């Protein structure tokens, strides 16, 4: 009986062929290994007024684009602007416009901020529900916060000292309130907040203090107003009309303390940042604005 010896090279070729076949069985043509997907991150920082809105946008967008990770942090509009100037974020949220000196600092770093109006907001004047005062003029609000009015009896309330609540100075809401309420838009006016104004780090902090303190007055973005706060109607004159903040009165420009909300990108946005900002301006994302109590920029 004749026996044939198989050359060693054929053993090697057989093993190689088996390995190729096994690999083909385990991974069909066109399939993608999840570990090879490159996750792209968009860094987003800034306004505490906008942080809940920014988080809601990020969550909704990431559901549509699982290849995109959006990192959202607050800290205030000033913090967001500083990060944009330093080049450590892709986009900055702000509840006020960028200051000329901030833009100049950014340009010195080779960064040219591009502005997007992404929503609108009202700044509501809020008090404890036990407070009998229902309405105030802009002048009265300015006099309260600058220290000219110190007792609720001076504006039709009880004989109680007024406790003034404000956001911290790094807040875009604080700056807007200072420039457009205390100073009434007059750039030559140097009026400041009363020195005994309590500065709180968040919108939630102001709301919490209002609910506990019948003496207090505060201001907050419309999206942070809850049912356990009393909202004051505001007028530009003593004759009225006195208007409550709402989506309707902001859209119609009847409510006198309203503003735009902004996102600033680091230069003209491209790629994933451009796609994300385009989506924020879409009707889908503006529905989220409406759902959180802010005012969309597109008709709903």
Structure tokens, 129: 């529900």
Closest CA to 215 of 177, 166, 164: 164
In which residue ranges of the chain is CATH 3.40.190.10 found? Answer: 40-120+260-291, 121-258
27 has a pLDDT exceeding 50: no
| Best CATH choice for the domain 40-120+260-291 from the list 3.10.450.50, 3.40.190.10, 1.25.40.10, 3.20.20.80 | 3.40.190.10
Report the pLDDT value the prediction gives residue 17, as an integer from 0 to 100.
42
219: Cβ contacts below 8 Å, ≥ 6 apart: 123, 124, 125, 126, 165, 166, 167, 173, 177, 181, 206, 257
For a pLDDT cut of 90, what percent of the chain falls above it? 85
Report the pLDDT value the prediction gives residue 116, as an integer from 0 to 100.
98
Q: What is the mean pLDDT of the chain?
A: 89
Q: What is the pLDDT of residues 116-132, one digit of tens each?
A: 999 999 999 999 999 99
Region 15-22: mean pLDDT is 41
What is the pTM (predicted TM-score) of this model?
A: 0.82
The residues pairing with 259 across neighbouring beta strands, listed in sequence order, are 121
Please, which pLDDT band fits residue 272 given cuts at 50, 70 and 90? very high
10 vs 145, residue with greater confidence: 145
Region 185-193: mean pLDDT is 95
Neighbours of 68 (CB within 10 A): 17
Q: What is the pLDDT of residues 56-112, one digit of tens each?
A: 999 999 999 999 999 999 999 999 999 999 999 999 999 999 999 999 999 999 999
Q: Which CATH fold would you assign to the domain 121-258?
A: D-Maltodextrin-Binding Protein; domain 2 (3.40.190)
Closest CA to 134 of 153, 157, 154, 150: 157
Q: What's the rounded Cα separation, in Å, for the pair 185 and 35?
A: 54
How many residues make up the chain in this entry? 300
Report the pLDDT value the prediction gives residue 13, as an integer from 0 to 100.
41
């Amino acid at each position: 009986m004749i026996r044939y010896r198989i050359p060693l090279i054929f053993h090697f070729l057989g093993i190689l062929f088996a390995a190729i076949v096994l690999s083909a069985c385990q991974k069909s043509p066109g399939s993608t290994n999840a570990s090879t997907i490159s996750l792209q991150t968009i860094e987003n920082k800034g306004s505490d007024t906008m942080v809940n809105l920014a988080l809601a946008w990020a969550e909704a967008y990431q559901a549509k684009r699982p290849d995109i990770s959006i990192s959202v942090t607050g800290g205030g509009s000033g913090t967001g602007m500083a990060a944009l100037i330093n080049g450590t974020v892709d986009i900055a949220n702000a509840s006020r416009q960028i200051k000329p000196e901030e833009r100049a600092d950014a340009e010195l770093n080779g960064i040219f901020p591009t502005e997007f109006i992404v929503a609108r907001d009202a700044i509501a004047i809020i008090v404890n529900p036990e407070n009998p005062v229902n309405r105030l003029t802009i002048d009265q609000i300015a006099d309260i916060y600058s220290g000219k009015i110190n007792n609720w009896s001076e504006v039709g309330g009880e004989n109680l000292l007024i406790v003034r609540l404000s956001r911290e100075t790094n807040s875009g809401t604080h700056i807007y309130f200072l420039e457009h309420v205390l100073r009434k838009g007059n750039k030559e006016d140097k009026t400041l907040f009363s020195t005994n104004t309590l500065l709180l780090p968040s919108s939630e902090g102001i709301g919490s203090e209002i609910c506990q303190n019948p003496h207090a007055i505060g201001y907050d973005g419309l999206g942070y107003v809850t049912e356990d706060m009393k909202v004051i109607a505001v007028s530009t004159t003593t004759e009225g009309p006195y208007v409550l903040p709402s989506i309707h009165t902001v859209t119609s420009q009847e409510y006198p303390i309203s503003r735009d909300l902004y996102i600033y990108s680091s230069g003209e946005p491209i790629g994933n940042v451009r796609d994300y900002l385009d989506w924020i301006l879409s009707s889908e994302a503006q529905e989220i604005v409406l759902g959180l109590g802010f005012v969309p920029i597109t008709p709903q």
